[in-house]
Amino acid sequence: MPQVPASEARDNLAELISRAAYGKERIILTRRGKSLAAIVSMGDLRRLKKLDDDTVLAEAQQDGTMSLADLKVERPG
């Protein structure tokens, strides 16, 4: 994954957004050589959200704290 300093990203934001959205590239933003954030496509973000939702559902079911039906009411899509 390409890494781009945050200061450079400010100057090239439109290009970076296009690379993520249309080129399906994941871009890591850095400051002083440390990773801060990432620019990803909406498809990637949707997959991350679904993964997070599925993990929460599985953990709650395993703990027995809530039923699957309760969780679906609590966490609408």
- The residue ranges of every structural domain in the chain are 3-40, 43-74
pTM of the model: 0.69
The C-alpha atoms of residue 14 and residue 57 are separated, in whole angstroms, by 36
Burial 8-20 (b: 16+ CB within 10 A, else e): ebeeeeeebeebb
Dihedral pair phi/psi, residue 10, rounded to 5°: -60, -40
Could you read off the pLDDT of 6-53 as tens digits, one per residue?
999 999 999 999 999 999 999 999 999 999 999 999 999 999 898 888
Count of alpha carbons within 13 Å of 10, Cβ hemisphere only?
Answer: 3
55 — pLDDT class (breaks 50, 70, 90): confident
Q: Give me the pLDDT at residue 77, please.
A: 52
Long-range contacts of 21-25 (CB under 8 A, 24+ apart): 25/1
